[in-house]
Structure 1
């Protein structure tokens, strides 16, 4: 299974907001720091805002910030909110299934089990787990610090 860029960008955006708490980040800044398209990131931020993960504030001191603590943002919930389709194979979508072996195929069950296990694994982690002070979290903060404007 491969996550969409939308979900990839959503996770990166959330990691930045969690790694640099106490400040608001603009779409322009985040897009520049991650070298991704501003328009795509705007759609990602909108979806995260609608799902209650991010708060968007307008005005001179506006920007994006986490809507709840990083420990309260579950990775499985983020992936479910940002992925549009979990149909790993054609037969997962009954309305569009044209596979001629569906009635006799044993593949759907194991793939469904694998998808369930994938999401269950993500459900065990929060955004805090990705950015808390341990080697990976410290390394992430160093890399993000280097992407701040004026540090390039």
Structure 2
């Protein structure tokens, strides 16, 4: 598992960007002592996959380098992350082994820690819906259709 001080410092940084009030944790019951303002909820993998959508959490934290995830196939990991990304959490942080890089990139996650900077077998990934896709310059009303023909022709 990733060092606790890396996780707690990362939580501090994420809290500065956007306030975190509710958090969901998968893989290990993680409840940092100094983050008492965050309401943590822990689920096992099987509980989470059967969990109906009742609320959206501010943060989803997944520790995929634990024993609970070692028996899961790639499709089950993908289902879990997609459900978490699309329904359950606004922002997701995932700790994985280096071998899961292709899965994480294919689901739209961005890497937080460069794997060449450390010797351990873990990578830190995030997904934030607010920064997932940058709006291109051409995607605004200035460049739509032919404004000079508005109210002249019916399309």
TM-score of the superposed pair, with normalisation by structure 1: 0.28
TM-score of the superposed pair, with normalisation by structure 2: 0.27
The structure that has the greater radius of gyration is: 2
Which structure has more strand as a fraction of its residues?
Answer: 2
Q: Which has the higher contact order (CA 8 A, sep 6+)?
A: 1
